[in-house]
Amino acid sequence: MDFSPKDVKAVLWDFGGVLTASPFVAFNRYEAQHGLPKDLIRNINATNPDGNAWAQFESASVTLDEFDRLFEAESRSRGFPVRGRKVIELLSGAVRPRMVEALRRCKRHFKVACITNNVKSGGGPGMATAAGKRQQTAAVMALFDLIVESSVEGMRKPNPIIYETTCERLGVAPSACVFLDDLGVNLKPARALGMTTIKVVTENQALQELQTATGLELQ
């Protein structure tokens, strides 16, 4: 049966890279400032994605101190040592007002939840460190009916169980969900479960696809 907006019961959101600017931008800026290869940090985090330092920290398997040492060892093996704590400082991007407004509008009609891969560092699910950013992200997080955090659950996207857990807690079927994420690897299992998925490349593109999926006026 073809999916249509009337079938939507919930809209699920990633946080970083969707409701805030992508941390990859901050990574690249740091790399340029310190003479490091572009995408060094991103590539380290994408190597051995189920067992590297980043994966262990997001699933709460290691402490911040352990992550700091493990990430430095991984980056040092590539010839460019970077402390893990420095990476954590770069995580929290600026809030995207248009995406937040779309979240508010979706909330009037559907259940809304956040599924975020995060770490036990910074201020709550948004991982902000500065006080101003903590307040902004806290205000966005307050809009959700449910927040599912990798650092709390002990598992992370793209593990299918984290999506199934979210749907069970919301009381909706995966086939009744629209899910937005900026990483294709996180969208693939959601799509396999029956969700309508949107890869956030740009705000305009994502809002247009979300508008089509939900039937709401979002732009």
- Domain range for residue 45? 24-89
The pLDDT value given to residue 92? 75
Contact status, residue 90 vs residue 30, Cβ threshold 8 Å: yes
Q: Which residue has the tokens 């693939």?
A: 188
Q: Is residue 168, in this structure, part of any structural domain at all? A: yes
Q: Quick one: pLDDT band at residue 1, thresholds 50, 70, 90?
A: very low
Shared domain for 128 and 82, answered yes or no, is: no
Structural domain count of the chain: 2
Sorted by sequence, the CB contacts under 8 Å of residue 15 that are 6+ apart come out as 114, 116, 118, 125, 126, 137, 140
Residue closest to 150 by CA, chosen among 127, 184, 182: 127
| pLDDT-above-70 percentage for the chain | 92
Shared domain for 84 and 98, answered yes or no, is: no
Shared domain for 107 and 198, answered yes or no, is: yes
Residue 9 tokens read as 């019961």
Sorted by sequence, the CB contacts under 8 Å of residue 109 that are 6+ apart come out as 214, 216
Which CATH number do you get for residue 55? 1.10.150.240
| pLDDT-above-90 percentage for the chain | 80
Contact status, residue 78 vs residue 44, Cβ threshold 8 Å: yes
Shared domain for 115 and 192, answered yes or no, is: yes
**Which residue pairs, CB below 8 angstroms and at least 24 apart, start in 78-84?**
78/40, 78/44, 80/36, 80/37, 80/40, 82/36, 82/40, 82/41, 84/53, 84/57
- 89, 112, 130 — which closes off a domain? 89
Q: Averaged over 83-87, what is the pLDDT? A: 94
Contact status, residue 110 vs residue 8, Cβ threshold 8 Å: yes
SS3 125: helix
The pLDDT value given to residue 2? 58
Shared domain for 72 and 104, answered yes or no, is: no
Q: Is residue 219, in this structure, part of any structural domain at all? A: no
Shared domain for 39 and 104, answered yes or no, is: no
- 35, 66, 89 — which closes off a domain? 89
Contact status, residue 40 vs residue 72, Cβ threshold 8 Å: no
Shared domain for 85 and 98, answered yes or no, is: no
What are 24-54's pLDDT values in tens digits? Answer: 999 999 999 999 999 999 999 999 988 999 9
Shared domain for 83 and 151, answered yes or no, is: no
| DSSP state, residue 95 | B
Q: What is the rounded distance in angstroms from the CA atom of residue 24 to the CA atom of residue 45? A: 11
Shared domain for 79 and 162, answered yes or no, is: no
The pLDDT value given to residue 79? 97
Shared domain for 203 and 109, answered yes or no, is: yes
Q: Give me the chain's average pLDDT, please.
A: 91
- 45, 64, 89 — which closes off a domain? 89
What are 183-202's pLDDT values in tens digits? Answer: 999 999 999 999 999 999 99
What are 97-147's pLDDT values in tens digits? Answer: 999 999 999 999 999 999 999 887 655 554 544 555 678 888 999 999 999
Shared domain for 118 and 192, answered yes or no, is: yes
Q: What is the pTM for the complete model shown?
A: 0.84
Where do the DSSP E strands lie in 5-132?
Answer: 10-13, 111-116
